[in-house]
Structures are given as structure tokens and as C-alpha cells.
Structure 1
Amino acid sequence: MLEALSPQPADALLGLIKLYNADPRPEKIDLGVGVYRTATGATPVFKAIKGAEARLLETQQSKSYLGPEGDMGFVRALIPYVFGAGFDTARVDGMQAPGGTGAVRLAIEVARRAGVRRILMGTPSWPNHAQIVAASGLELVTFRHVTAEGTADLDALKAALADAGPGDAVLLHGCCHNPSGVDYTEAQWDEIAPLLAARAVLPLLDLAYQGLGAGMEADAYGLRTVLAAVPEALVAYSCDKNFGLYRDRVGAFYAVTGDADALARAMANGASIARASWSMPPDHGAAAVREVLADAALTREWLAELDDMRGRMRQVRDRLAAAQQIGPIAMAPLGIQNGLFSILPLTGEQILTLREAHGIYMAGSGRINIAGLTTDNIETFIDALRAVTA
């Protein structure tokens, strides 16, 4: 029967990784893979995580199962960072998930079981968002996320919400939009929140990069503003980026309601979906995060490391923005964008030329990972952009 399976397209990013690895040029630049890199191109383990892992090595007494909910100490330790110190914890409950991807899948599957039939989503978006929606059998309704001027398109979101209502959910990036880097401003979030409440749509909030934009508190502004206005929402959270735990797959799924019975049902359905999907989430990374957040010294060290990461990416963005205009590309907007990613309006031919002639690797969409640029290669990158757009 397996011969009846349809061929599937190869993952373009994985193919790009192979091409980059096979390129012998020492000056090659990787702007494709979506991980943080230091000024020397490394993706190190956080010092705070190393400290937490050392403690786990000495104190962890068992590797037995924790259940489909995972490490609830980890889940609860994150709540004040995600929702704010004054949030009513009676409204929220959560469970561990394998990465932000697992958390998004849980959120969409719980929404489907709750009666959601359509997911509204701004585009471009993280490619896996659309794949997860499709796998869940829900209808995806898209609207434009970025204006021609490079700002978040609030009018497009308003238009999408005007046609939405019960049975609809809207998927919003909390901060550091992937792939555009274009976030809603605080003033825009202040408009979005009451619109969501008025239209009775279910907000699905994906917060995958908290701390990498403007800071832990500022990056949670949109999520917290929405939750203050709506009776219920689902949240997908990732620690893969802001704790550097990519391969350990550390995420959390949260449900927020105004009704204790509804909250219990949401979590029971989440546990049921998790049990049938991955049974139990991986423990090690979540346990390390729990250790970091339980110790004031490790927490301070982690936050300082985040500050350094954010500062480095801001320096890269400032240098790119200073280029002002490269051919038809307005570079200044990159300076006000956030997080790891931005999209450059390049043609497929230009992207291919950057790769073949200059050893610069980026996604076919023009998405670049800002953290792939360093003081050693950023001028080379700018010169190459000038060459291909001349």
C-alpha cells in the first residue's frame, strides 16, 4: 500500500543547510537557519542553562515519566514572565509541549475541538503555521500583515475581523514576527484587543521570541493587552530561542478562560491530544528552565545573556538601517523591526546570485536571519546587496 503515498516536496530550508555545509568558501555567510548566533558565529549553550544542568546532574533522582502535562513546575514558573506578575492565575493553566511547534499544534487542535472552523492569519507567517492548520483540517483565511511601507497592516487585520465571528480564531505573533520582523506597535495592540473582544473570535497568541525584541516586559505587551480584554484565549510559548534550547524542544501551551470548568476542559483536551501525539514531552530542557527560574542568581544571569543577545541584534539592525537605500531596497525599516528575522524584497535570481557569486545563503522568500551577520561580514553582505541590485 505504501506505493500509493504521494511524493512530498523537500523542505527548502533543509536543502539550503546542505548547500551551505557543502560550500568550501571560508567567507560564506549563513542567513538561512533561524538560530541566534554570537559575533563569532557560534550558537552557544547559555551559561545560566549550564549552571542549571550541573544542578540537575547532581540532584535529579529519576528519569521516570511525568505524564502528558510534563514538568508542571516549569509551566508554572513561566506564568509571571508571560502573563505578568499581577495576572489572575485562576484564569490560566498550562502544560509542557515539545517546542513552540508542539504548543501551536496543541492550541490549534484544542481550538478545533472547541468548535473553531477557520483560522485567520496574517501573511507572510512562519511556514509551519499554515502546515499545522492544514494538518488539523481547518480552513485558513489569510490577510496581509505588512504594508508597502514596511509597517504592520492594522487595516488588513481590521478588515479580516469585520468578517469574523463565532467559530473563528485569529493567530497572532506576540513579538519578533517571523519572518518579517514587523510587529504591531503598542498603540495598535490597544486597538486590536477590543476588536477581538467585540467580534467574539478566539485569539491564538504565539509568543516564540520573548526577550529578543525590546525586552521581556515590552515583548509581552500585546499578549497581556489582549488577555485583559477578552474572556478566553490560547497561548503557545517557546523557550527554544530565549533560553537557547533549540534541540531540547521546550515549549508550553496555556489556556486562559474566565470559567474554572472551561479551563479544566481545555486542559483535559490538551492532555488527550498530547497523549495521542507524543505521549510525554521531553523533560531535560524544561527541567533546566525550571532550575533557572527557581534561582535568583541563575535568573539574573539568564536575563543578562538575553540583554546581550538583544543588544547585538540591535547593533546589526542599526548598521543595516544606516545603509538607507540599496538599489530598490529601503533599508531603514530594518532598524525598527524586531527579533531574528527580516525580509528583503529580492528576486529569485538575485538570491541565487548572492549564493553562487558571493557565498551568501538565505531563504528563497528573501528572509534573512539578522544574527548571521557580524562585524566581520556585514560590510561584505551590504556590498553584495549593492552588486546584485545595481
Structure 2
Amino acid sequence: MDAYARDGNPRKFDLGVGVYKDAQGLTPVLAAVKRAEQQLLEQQLSKTYVNGHGDVAYGQLLTRMVLGDDSPLLAASRAGATQTPGGTGALRLSGEFLRHCLPGRGIWLSDPTWPIHESIYAGVGLEVHHYPYVGADNRLNVEAMLACLEQIPQGDVILLHACCHNPTGFDLSHADWRRVLDVVKRRELLPLIDFAYQGFGDGLEEDAWAVRLFADQLPEMLVTSSCSKNFGLYRERTGALIVCASTESKLLDVRSQLASLARNLWSTPPDHGAAVVAQILGTPELKSLWADEVQTMRSRIAQLRRGLVEALERYGLDHRFGYIAEQRGMFSYTGLTPSEVQQLRERYSVYMVSNGRANVAGIDASRLDELAAAIAGVCR
């Protein structure tokens, strides 16, 4: 980010920062958010603290969005949300819970994964391990993943990305998810599903498929949810840790521990973003408007993926980079080497993470040919 800011080239590309950008290069405030904020401005009577689990309506509505309106867990009072400062806060709270309440359990992360996963869980004192996910050929390696999962000690925690895998963009198929679920059942592993991009893969309902499958088939699991991307509430830091327990009594036990842990982390969570989300999800007109806006963002990202591959075809590189169009979500493991990434920065002012991860959602659609030419310039 610093190097990009110092670069004086007016034609530079920022493909590093993980935010959605529209056709004007802006990260917009969604219309549904604007309307919800106006309603809150007129209706809100107090700025007093929310409780330790956050805004009640927010927690209920978000849990319903994640697990589905007809979820048997909701009917049986077996699921509940604790509001957190963003999805990152939910991850940290889950780490504290695992460390203090389930001592001795290791946690397994995909290789690669979002780097902060590693630092959060190592930072709270958990033993961090990795399972294969994307191989040296920059392709999803499900067989290697499953072979590793079969060796994980019984009872350990496995972190899975619900959709739009960060940083690779490669998602498991439904058949793959069922195979993972089978291993999780037999090894009695505890799934921790990071759900940061609901709506950015194939749709709001479609992206929740794996989460709901696991919730239906397993007695217990944890889900971290984020409203940063799909509501555009990046700076409002709005998320939740959703607990799915075997019984209502067990859920109450877990939630009492989470409230105590959260108290020592941030006392009570910030309210504004959660109030906005609750207003949107609880108002049919706003919810419909928001769903349309999520679809627009998702469609734009998919178009950018296809457009980049088509632009690379001119240089005979569509075969090498064809998987970019198959990936989901904001990020892509492009397959560019660290040397090629360095050359892109130095010769063409194209900035991305050194491992080749690019934020596709940050590409200017009018400059796809220019970006393709730069990539071709370092790949020949």
C-alpha cells in the first residue's frame, strides 16, 4: 500500500487492497445502507451500550441469513450469534474460546489461507497446522486435502472457507464438501467455517450451502460471519461468531463463556454497523434493494474475471490463466511468481501481493487490455 501510494505513475493499478470497487473506482456506500442510516437517524433514541452479545435483532437476523429461515437449529434454539468488531473480531473471539474452553486442541488451516488466520490463532496460543489446498500447479488439490484431514488428531479444529476462498478464489464443489463432511464426522473434528463473503460467490442462498449442510449433519460447529464486503461496511467493523450447539442448554453454556471472553476483549461491540444491518434485514423493502446491490457487485466481479481472461487470449495466455474465470469472489491466485509480480510493479506499476494474489474486484474494466499487456510483458 505504501509503495502504491508513493508511485507517481497516473496509470498505476491497485490490485492489493481487499475492497470492492465500482466502475468509477470507488468503494461505494450501498443505497440500502444510506436509507437504513437515514431511518436510524430519525428513529434512534439512545447511544447507550449494547449488551455483551450485541444487538439482539442483528444477531437473530444474521443467524437466520446464514443458516436459513427454515433451519431446525433455530427452531430448537441451538444456534446463536455474538456480535463482534468485524469478521476478524469473530475469528479472535473463536480463538480465545478454543484456547480457554477447549484446551489442547490444535487448529488446521488451509495452505494457503488468509495470513491473519495464522497470526490470530498463533497469537492466542493455539497450535497451528496446515492442510494442503492449492498445489504447486495453482490448482485445487482436493485429494491431498482429504488425505491430510484423515490424519488430523481426533477432536482438533479445522478452519474451512465457506465460499470465495481467500486468497485463492478456488472453492470446493458440493461433492467435495460432502467428502470433507464425511471425514469431519469420522474424525470427530470441530469445524470452524469462515463466512466472510456471503453473496459474492454464486448468491446469498447458494453461498450458504456448505454451512447449512454442516449445520444439518453435525452436532456442533462455529461460524464467523462478516458484513464488511456484502454490506460494504468495511470501517464499521461488523461481524459475528455464530455457535451451533448440540442442545439449547449447551448453547447457553457456550454463550456465557463467549460473553465473558468478549468482555475482556472489547467490553461491548460497536453498534452502528449492526444497527444498519438489522434495519436492512428487518425491512423487506431495504432487504430487497440490498440483495439487488449484492447481485450487482457479484456480477461485476464475474464479468471482470471473464474479461481479463479474454484480454489475455490475445497474447496466447488464456490457457495459463483460464482458471481466473472459474474462481469465485474478490480474490484470485493468479499463478504469477514473486519475480513476475515484482516486474509488474517495477515496469508497469501493477501492485498485488507478492504471492500473486490479486483483488479482481479492484480492476478497472476499461483497462483490462492494458493489464493483460502488462501481464504478457512479464510472462514471455
- Using the size of structure 1 for normalisation, the TM-score is 0.92
What amino acid does structure 2 have at the position aligned with 1:295? T
Match of 2:164 among 163, 176, 180: 176
User: Does residue 158 in structure 1 map to residue 142 in structure 2?
Assistant: no
Q: Distance in 2 between matches of 1:251 and 1:116?
A: 27
Match of 1:133 among 92, 114, 121: 121
Match of 1:387 in 2: 377
Q: Is the 8 A contact 1:326 1:389 kept in 2?
A: no
Instruction: Report the 3-state secondary structure (helix = DSSP H, G, I; strand = E; otherwise coil) of the residue aligned with 1:376.
Output: helix
Instruction: Report the 3-state secondary structure (helix = DSSP H, G, I; strand = E; otherwise coil) of the residue aligned with 1:163.
Output: coil
Deviation per CA, 1:178-232, whole angstroms, max 9, x where unpaired?
0000010111112222221111010000000000010011111111111122110
User: Does residue 93 in structure 1 map to residue 83 in structure 2?
Assistant: no
Q: Is the 8 A contact 1:326 1:385 kept in 2?
A: no
Q: Is the 8 A contact 2:168 2:333 kept in 1?
A: yes
Q: Distance in 2 between matches of 1:159 and 1:223?
A: 22
Q: Is the 8 A contact 2:132 2:148 kept in 1?
A: no
What amino acid does structure 2 have at the position aligned with 1:156? A
Match of 1:373 in 2: 363
Deviation per CA, 1:22-72, whole angstroms, max 9, x where unpaired?
222221110000000011211010000000000111111111011221112
Equivalent positions of 1:103-252 (< 5 A) are 103-112=90-99, 113-148=101-136, 150-252=138-240
What amino acid does structure 2 have at the position aligned with 1:308? T
Q: Distance in 2 between matches of 1:190 and 1:351?
A: 36
User: Does residue 306 in structure 1 map to residue 294 in structure 2?
Assistant: yes
Match of 2:320 in 1: 330
Q: Is the 8 A contact 1:67 1:279 kept in 2?
A: no
Q: Distance in 1 between matches of 2:325 and 2:358?
A: 14
What amino acid does structure 2 have at the position aligned with 1:355? R
User: Does residue 45 in structure 1 map to residue 22 in structure 2?
Assistant: no
CA RMSD, Structure 1 to Structure 2 (Å): 1.6
Q: Is the 8 A contact 1:116 1:169 kept in 2?
A: no
What amino acid does structure 1 have at the position aligned with 2:87? G
Q: Is the 8 A contact 2:80 2:243 kept in 1?
A: yes
Report the Cα offset of residue 162 of structure 1: 1.3
Deviation per CA, 1:105-147, whole angstroms, max 9, x where unpaired?
1122222222352001111100000001101111111111114
The more displaced of 126-135 and 194-203 is 194-203
CA 345–152 in structure 1, closer or farther in 2 if over 3 Å, else same: closer
Match of 1:30 in 2: 14
Match of 1:10 in 2: none
Instruction: Report the 3-state secondary structure (helix = DSSP H, G, I; strand = E; otherwise coil) of the residue aligned with 1:78.
Output: helix
Instruction: Report the 3-state secondary structure (helix = DSSP H, G, I; strand = E; otherwise coil) of the residue aligned with 2:366.
Output: coil
**Matched positions, count:** 374
Match of 1:254 among 242, 245, 253: 242
Q: Is the 8 A contact 2:309 2:325 kept in 1?
A: yes
Structure 1, unmatched stretches of 5+, are 1-16
CA 377–110 in structure 1, closer or farther in 2 if over 3 Å, else same: same
- Using the size of structure 2 for normalisation, the TM-score is 0.95
Instruction: Report the 3-state secondary structure (helix = DSSP H, G, I; strand = E; otherwise coil) of the residue aligned with 1:386.
Output: helix
Deviation per CA, 1:239-259, whole angstroms, max 9, x where unpaired?
000000000000011110112
Q: Is the 8 A contact 1:33 1:369 kept in 2?
A: yes
Instruction: Report the 3-state secondary structure (helix = DSSP H, G, I; strand = E; otherwise coil) of the residue aligned with 1:330.
Output: helix
Structure 2, unmatched stretches of 5+, are none
Q: Distance in 1 between matches of 2:39 and 2:20?
A: 25
Q: Is the 8 A contact 2:63 2:242 kept in 1?
A: no
Match of 1:360 in 2: 350
Q: Is the 8 A contact 2:195 2:223 kept in 1?
A: yes
Instruction: Report the 3-state secondary structure (helix = DSSP H, G, I; strand = E; otherwise coil) of the residue aligned with 1:142.
Output: strand
Q: Distance in 1 between matches of 2:206 and 2:285?
A: 22
Q: Distance in 2 between matches of 1:249 and 1:103?
A: 10
Report the Cα offset of residue 301 of structure 1: 0.6
Q: Distance in 2 between matches of 1:313 and 1:328?
A: 18
What amino acid does structure 1 have at the position aligned with 2:281? L
Report the Cα offset of residue 148 of structure 1: 4.8
CA 223–326 in structure 1, closer or farther in 2 if over 3 Å, else same: farther
